Structure 1
Amino acid sequence: MDSLAILSLGFAVFVIVIIVKTARIVPQRSNYVIERLGKYSRTLDSGFHILIPFIDKVAYVHTLKEEVIDVHRQACVTKDNIQVGINGVLYIQVIDAHRASYGINDYRYAASQLAQTTMRSVIGQTSLDKTFEERAKINEAVVQALDEAAAPWGIKVLRYEISDIELPTSIKDALEQQMRAERERRAAIAKSEGERQAMINVSEGQKQEVINMSEAEKQKQINEAEGRAQEIELIASATAEGLRKIALAINEPGGKEAVNLRVAEQYVKEFGNLAKANNSMIIPAELANIGGAVASITDIVKGMSKS
């Protein structure tokens, strides 16, 4: 009875081993490379598969997901003989499990080493300033070179990114001085531009002020001239109207006598003022005949009124 139990247990273990060796479940986005008696047989895609026990075996397991490989720091010399340390990150993907298994021993290590050597080559053709300015172009050049070299390995190089660039201390100091000088230069230019603009604004303001003052003076003169013209016109109109009324008054009854009296009064008044203002004076020859002078003036007025 004990021997039968042991035999049964052994048979159960054998069956379990046969099932384990026979049935294979391949996960999603994975490939199993199967060898039959040490020779490549086929590649299993995701799903359930049956193998021949003790004849077929899973030789390699590959994931088809994108893999990230850290490319360790390496010393590179730029075109202008400056040594820099560069870290990078490489993104690859297995696209052919058969070639990834038999094309190279370790495609991850090979891709990392190839990325380092390619980076040294690309940096050697680039100046230090361009190393910082053209990272995208450098990354693209590395990816192109790696993809061509890794094609026989059954992998696809998706992208490469420079994660860090380490510079020597002396170069850092020189770059800091250069950047400081550049900032000071830009500040000086900005200040001068501001002062120039301020001077332009002031001159424009002064120019506009002069223009406004000249326009105001011009308008003032025009207004004064128009005022004087209107004044002269009003005075002339008033004088003409006065003379017209005097002429009408002379032609009325008693008008001639009134004019004679008014002229005589003005004659005497002005002669008296002349005597007060001067110590010596010239006496008209007709002074004794004031009436005759008045009559003469009256005749002149009368003649003007008739004309």
Structure 2
Amino acid sequence: MPITGLDILIPVLVVLVLLLIFVGIKTVPQGSNFTVERFGRYTRTLSPGLNVIVPFIDRVGARLNMMEQVLDVPTQEVITRDNAIVAVDGVAFYQVLNAAQAAYQVSGLENAILNLTMTNIRSVMGSMDLDELLSNRDAINERLLRVVDEAANPWGVKMTRVEIKDINPPENLVDSMARQMMAERNKRAQILEAEGLKQAQVLEAEGRKEAAFRDAEARERLAEAEARATQSVSEAIAQGGVQAINYFVAQKYTEALAKIGSANNNKVVLMPFEASSLIGSLGGIGAIAKEVFGEDAVPLVRRSPARPPVVTPDES
């Protein structure tokens, strides 16, 4: 059977259709976006999944990763505001939010972000002293993130994090910082010790003051009590109460005997007296009161001869 032109045309058309389908259908993987260009001009962005373009008219331009990506910032030297040279490295995280801007607003997106981050690290850290760099790393990261994100925003990129990994001063500078820290700690220790001594002296002085005040108050109250007792005895004597004289003198007499017995220069104290001796002394005092106040003042106790105590002095 002879082959006609229709027999050749049909397979050619089938192959052409299959070729057009193969060229026109584009599969975009998850986490990626493709840009479509028609005669070299951007027209639209293909999202993940199955997409169809016009064969031989449209073509895929840029294939962009839309997932968050990490960019390692190499080590570089930074001169601080106080002229200290430190080696700094870091890491940056970014995510493409607009595929068209990332593809057509900047050439070499990753290289642009890297150089932008390194430049801002030198700018931010160069405006700070060394002590600020070592103690305010969180503030540095926050400032870097804000500056770099603002600069990368026209590129359709969101900077999610910029972190400083290491800050390495020179060894001689580290030794100087260690000596400075040791001197500062010694200074603080001396200050704390001096403050503690001062506080102890203040508390001791306040204690002595409080004790002296309480002693004076006690003596004042004792004097007031003695004055009230003396006044009461005086009033009783003025009213003819010889009993008050007897009580007052007997109290002083017994107190004197107690002091004699507790003296340190006497080892043995002999006091051979009976109760009548003390009463006799009170009777003698009553006689004195009778002479003062007259015959009407009659004591309540009679006098009896008293024998004074015999005190043996210390033989040593």
TM bracket, shorter-chain basis: 0.5 to 0.7
Displacement of 1:116: 1.1
Matches within 5 A, 1:184-263: 184-239=186-241
What is the aligned-residue identity percentage? 37
RMSD, aligned α-carbons = 3.4
Q: Which residue of structure 1 lines up, in the alignment, with residue 278 of structure 2?
A: none
Q: Write 1 or 2 for the structure with the bigger share of helix.
A: 1
Q: Deviation at 1:14?
A: 8.3
d(CA) in 2 for partners of 1:301, 1:238: 11
Corresponding residue number in structure 1 for 2:67: 65
Please report how far the alpha carbon of residue 58 of structure 1 lies from its aligned counterpart in structure 2 after TM superposition.
Answer: 3.0
Aligned with residue 31 of structure 1, among 23, 30, 33: 33
Cα–Cα, structure 1 residues 62 and 227, in superposed 2: closer, same or farther, change >3 Å? same
Residues 109-136 of structure 1 show CA distances to partners (whole Å, capped at 9, x for unaligned) of: 2211221122223333332223234445
What is the match of residue 177 of structure 1? 179
Rounded to whole Å, the distance in 2 between the matches of 1:188 and 1:13 is: 94
Where do 1:93-112 residues align within 5 Å?
93-112=95-114
Deviation at 1:216, TM superposition (A): 0.5
Q: Is the radius of gyration larger for structure 1 or structure 2?
A: 1
The one-letter code matched in structure 2 to 1:75 is: E
Q: Secondary structure at the match of 2:239?
A: helix
Work out which of the residue numbers 52, 68, 78 in structure 2 matches 1:50. 52
The aligned residue for residue 287 of structure 1 is none
Quickly say closer, same or farther: Cα 1:16–1:239, change in 2 above 3 A: same
- Secondary structure of the residue aligned to 1:65 is coil
Secondary structure at the aligned position of 1:80 is classed as: coil
Distance, in Å, in 2 between the alignment partners of 1:16 and 1:199 is 102
Aligned pairs (5 A) from 1:8-19: none
What CA distance in whole angstroms lies between the structure 1 residues aligned with 2:38 and 2:218? 110
Query: Offset of 1:101 from its aligned partner?
Result: 1.2
Gaps in structure 2 of 5+ consecutive residues: 1-11, 244-293, 297-316
C-alpha distance in 2, partners of 1:195/1:20?
Answer: 91
Change (3 A) 1:21 1:231: farther
Q: Distance in 2 between matches of 1:114 and 1:15?
A: 48
Q: Distance in 2 between matches of 1:148 and 1:301?
A: 120
The CA deviation string for residues 44-102 of structure 1, in whole angstroms up to 9 with x for no partner, is: 23454222345444332223333322211111112222211111122322232112112
